Structure 1
Amino acid sequence: MNIKLRPWQIEAHQKAMDWLVHMKKDRHFLINAAPGAGKTLAACAIAKTLLDSEEITRVIVIAPRTQVVTQWADDFTRVTGLHMGKVTAKDGELGALDMDICATWSAIQGLWPELQAVCKSSNVLVICDEHHHAAVEAAWGESAGGAFETAKYVLVLTGTPIRSDGAESVWLAYDDSGAISHPEDGTYTLTYGDAVELGYCRPITFHKHQGKFTVDLGGEEVKVSGDTESSLPKNLARIPGLQTALDFYKLAKTPQYVTGTEKPLMTGYQASMIESGIEKLDQLRLTMPEAGGLVIAPNIEVAEFMASLLENLDGERPLIVHSQLANPEDKIKQFRNTTRRWLVSVAMVSEGVDIRRLRVLIYLPNALTELAFRQAMGRVVRTDSYDDCSRAYVVMPAFKTFEKYAKRVEAEMSPAHRVDPGPPKKKICPNCGETHPLSTTECECGYEFPVEAKIKQIKKCVSCGALNLRHAETCHACGKSFSTEFTLTLEEALRVGAIVRGMELDECEVQGSEEMAPELKRLILKSGDQHLIRFLKTVPEESYSRLGRMLDEVRFGKL
């Protein structure tokens, strides 16, 4: 074996062998491990043992995204020494049938006959990554259930085993509460708290970013915050969509521009989130010089907006990845292999993608599910190849839904790991690795530390002058809140970003839409049908997957 497995991976490997090969009680084995703990390498090790012992002759992996397919192929080759073919939705065909393959969930929908034939003619191990995608009643679940019905073994991987919609996934049994009820001997579980305690994942700190919006309704003002309900004056309560628009999280997702221009407002709510993320990344890079930050945006407009804010506030243009840009996989790989500071994404780096140097997450997504929350959190808790002693940090709106999820995650960690140690006391030279006091301006190797890396640890209360810790939410002396108020006009509150694109789509729908968007656009434009082209321009691409599912329900309902 070409890699050194972690103790938990060795234990999972042995338990899988006992269950699948020696006990032969069931062909399914479940690994339920926290995002970032290393499920992929554990699964590749199990596959290698089954291949070497001739229990299987083929491996087929199903993964959620194109980027994850590439990672799977690379890791499989590194562990087994065998080539793994890659199949995505845009490929449209299985390719060579005599090799191990990794396919996206959406790709297998059109490959039922070929995959069924492979499973009937060979002893196949199916590795089902991010199993929550395979809901029994959904198209992807039906595809997987039919295509791999005769597979010899099925290895199910998940870090978030319960879907937010309560739907059950294929291959596994569930109890009355909706939790997976697979036999204990056929399951290996590693919680996030366990992973942190054992050093497989980083402890995490959630910065709940406060803010209050004042919406000017033409002479009357409405206050909106994350911890109080807003109420409209009676004379305005009948304005269509207004009450919906005056939702704290929708306002938090609405870009704020300088009046009369398309320039991002440097004093707006999103700018203040960015500033908090920059400050935390600056601190982390003192002891981990290559540390990076990730912004998850709700849609392409906000992604471009956040990128502009980052460029203005941090001085470096971030990399952006979304479905309308060419070669997003190459951009993600480029970011992974450099020391660039920020990556901005629309759902493309929220699940399965492994960029180990990510440490800061600015979280402003469309999906509001706990499943999506934990998957996104998994991008910044992964450990690196050495002990950098860093924590993971999430900057998120002070929104009740996110706070509820964060408290559950924090409860999984031991009390010692819940405590944020604060700003670093020393810094590391990125050139030679030597450690220095924070006051050092130049390393013996000749490297000059940037002046802006000085850490601001205190802030002064404007009411009483007392000094407070940098991230204090209220003054310890007079109790004044440090949360900032942001003023919006009625027009800004009713922006497209707040209502029309404010559909609550879950992570699977967003990712499925991104998979199908390029090909759907190509086919519609190729048709020349002006009605369909107008439709294409008016429907947000994030909703394509939901629309497709509705069409399937209508079509199959008539059969």
Structure 2
Amino acid sequence: MQLRQWQSKCIKHALKLYTQQNHFMCLATPGAGKTVMAAELARHLLDAGKIDFVLCFSPSTEVNEGIRATFSKRLNKRFDGLIGSVGNAYTYQSMSSLNSGFWQLLNTHRVMVIMDEVHHLKGHEYANANAWGEEVLVNIQDKAAFTLALSGTPWRSDKAPIVLSRFTEPDNTLHCDFIYGLEQAIADGVCRTPNIALIDNDNIHLNEGDERSVFNSFSSLLNGSSLSYSALLHHPQVMLYVLKLGVEKLSKIRELNQKAGGLIVASSIAHAKQLLSYLVDDLAQSACLVTSHMKKPSKTIEQFRHNNTQWIVSVGMIAEGTDIPRLQVCCHLSRIKTEMHYRQVLGRILRVDASPNQAAWLFTLAEPSLSDFAQRINVDLPETTVVLEHQNTETIDISLPANKYQIESSFNDNATNAVSLELSQSKMREPVTKTRDMEEENNYNLALLGGFKERIVQLFG
């Protein structure tokens, strides 16, 4: 398989720098093909006789399976850690369980260590390191023949330093030895052009105890009341409207590409089950669920990667590094509101494949932070963003129960603190489950009476 131009350039630059230093940091936009680049760089070093083994570390077993497959194919050698193999992939979480005999390999042989999504590793010294970062400082730093750090989002939400990283003066920004941004990836045909729809509502009525308030946007609701973003994500009308937009867009894409799929990023397992129910029972979609509580989540992801199911609903299982090129639509309904997570989720729908329709759509609520993240993508795409305001004037065909019912929920799936969210509008079936994942302790009556609207952020319009 021929390398992409950026991969060849990165490998050439890394080989040059490795004559002067043993660490290389590559920033490449999610979906660009960092794993293939890393495998080919390792192959060059193996062929040149500069290393004996390759050890890869990543955040999840799902990512590791992809790493093993890619490295085995590109190196034409076993990559499973068994006798005769040239290396293996491990999770960061497993580092602490690896014994001294394992780490001794770095003292007796020339080992290349590759750290995928390196932003998970915190600290440039023991005093400020997290558990995973400390393992690198103790067992890998100054012992590996070469180290390669990979990331699509080279920062941490807590602004802490990343392990083995260098910083430039005087602004103290992270130094990357090679950068391949989203703008260039789109221009090269490596990544799809993303479109981001920010969903809002202009007439929101909230009863909080004896107090009645009216808001003209989700932003004003969240800033002007004690209602949380998590509670908003669990409002049935909100869930159904976001899902409906995603379903309509995926259906349009599948007119040309019948294999196209969609991803729903949920806030919790209970939330994911409710979203799955809406997809299947209300919107007549084929869908599957993948969570960390399942016995074999990797098998579910692998089946979805190759089958024709329309949607996969996930709780944290398909966020970074998971390669499913047929994903082209995503509904972001997670309560996580960090830019790193936001960009990683967006990256799941940007991988180019051979299908005739390469559209990529991300649907989120117009929550202030998420709106800011959408606009900051413009930093990667200067002078080419087109922002359109679109008002939905049609009557919303999503109704709620005529009789009031209470939705009991809690901050996590097993907690007991309950909240009741009272809704009263026209017909809708009783919910399949009355559990929801919200963080409220008060009772609310929330009615969305206005028209929903979508602000479309078209990148490379």
- Tell me the TM-score range normalised by the shorter chain: 0.7 to 0.9
| Residues 193/490 of structure 1: CA separation in 2 closer, same or farther (3 Å cut) | farther
Q: Deviations over 1:277-331 (max 9, x none)?
A: 0000011111222110000001101000100010023323411000111210000
Q: Which residue of 2 aligns with 1:395?
A: 363
Measure the CA separation in 2 of the matches of 1:494 and 1:159.
Answer: 38
- Over 3 Å counting, the alpha-carbon distance change for 1:46 and 1:114 in structure 2 is same
Superposed displacement of residue 43, structure 1: 0.5
The DSSP-based 3-state class of the residue aligned with 2:356 is: coil
Unpaired runs of 5+ residues, structure 2, are 124-128, 416-436, 438-461
- Cα displacement string for residues 319-377 of structure 1 (whole angstroms, at most 9, x for unaligned residues): 10001112100000000011210000001001100000100000011321100001111
- Corresponding letter in the other structure for 1:320: L
Of 173, 180, 185, which residue of structure 2 is paired with 1:179? 173
Task: Report the number of matched residues.
Answer: 407
- 2:448 equivalent in structure 1: none
1:14 is matched with which residue: 5, 8, 12? 12
Please tell me the residue identity of whatever aligns with 1:111. L
2:138 corresponds to which residue?
A: 146
1:226 maps onto 2:226 in alignment: no
Instruction: Provide TM-score, normalisation by structure 1.
Output: 0.67
Q: Secondary structure at the match of 1:351?
A: coil
Q: How big is each residue's C-alpha offset from its partner over 1:431-455, in whole Å with a ceiling of 9 and x where there is no partner? A: xxxxxxxxxxxxxxxxxxxxxxxxx
Q: Distance in 2 between matches of 1:489 and 1:160?
A: 47
Separation (CA, whole Å) in 2 of partners of 1:363 and 1:98? 40
Structure 1 vs Structure 2 CA RMSD:
3.0
Which of the residues 50, 57, 60 maps onto 1:62?
57
Looking at secondary structure, tell me which structure has more strand per residue: 2
**Residue 329 of structure 1 pairs with residue 298 of structure 2:** yes
Give the letter for the 2:95 counterpart: I
**C-alpha distance in 1, partners of 2:162/2:318?**
23
Q: Is the 8 A contact 1:284 1:291 kept in 2?
A: yes
Where 1:366 maps in the other structure, the secondary structure is coil
Tell me the amino acid that sits aligned with residue 203 of structure 1. T
1:352-363 matched pairs, under 5 angstroms: 352-363=321-332
1:78 matched residue in structure 2: 73
Shift of 1:378: 0.5
Distance 2:275 2:294 in 1: 16
Q: Classify 1:190/1:231 alpha carbon distance in 2 versus 1 (closer, same or farther; 3 Å).
A: closer
Could you tell me how far 1:229 is from its partner in structure 2? 4.8
Partners of 1:492 and 1:5 in 2: how far apart?
Answer: 56
Is contact 2:230-2:335 (8 Å) kept? no
2:380 aligned to which of 394, 412, 421: 412
**Structure 2 equivalent of residue 473 of structure 1:** 391
C-alpha spacing 1:498/1:67, structure 2 compared with 1 (3 Å): closer
1:204 aligned onto 2:194: yes
User: C-alpha deviations, 1:393-435, integer Å up to 9, x for none?
Assistant: 0010111100100111144225557589xxxxxxxxxxxxxxx
Report what 2:431 is aligned to: none
> Counterparts of 1:405 and 1:487 in 2: how far apart (Å)?
35
- The answer to whether structure 1 residue 127 and structure 2 residue 114 are counterparts is yes
Partner of 1:193: 183
Unaligned runs of 5+ in 1: 87-94, 233-242, 257-267, 421-470, 502-539, 541-559
Query: Paired residue for 1:269?
Result: 238
Q: What is the identity, as a one-letter code, of the residue corresponding to 2:195?
A: T
* Alignment correspondent of 2:429: none
For residues 301 and 81 of structure 1, what CA distance do their matches in structure 2 show? 43
Structure 2 equivalent of residue 365 of structure 1: 334
1:320 and 2:289 correspond:
yes
For 2:109, the aligned partner's letter is S
1:16-67: per-residue Cα shift (whole Å, max 9, x none)?
Answer: 11111xxx22101111000000000000000011111111010000011110
Matched residue of 1:287: which SS?
Answer: coil
State the identity as a percent.
Answer: 26
User: 1 CA distance for matches of 2:221 and 2:412?
Assistant: 17
AA partner of residue 390 (structure 2): A
Asked if the contact 1:62–1:105 (Cα under 8 Å) also holds between the matched residues in 2, the reply is yes
Paired with 1:483 and 1:114, the residues of 2 have a C-alpha distance of 63
1:25 aligns with 2:17: no
- Give the Cα separation in 2 of the matches to 1:63 and 1:104: 5
Q: 1:283 to 1:100 in 2, by over 3 A?
A: same
Of the two structures, which has the highest relative contact order with CA contacts closer than 8 Å and spacing of 6 or more?
Answer: 2
* Matching residue of 1:378: 347
**Structure 1 letter corresponding to 2:363:** V
Distance 2:398 2:379 in 1: 29
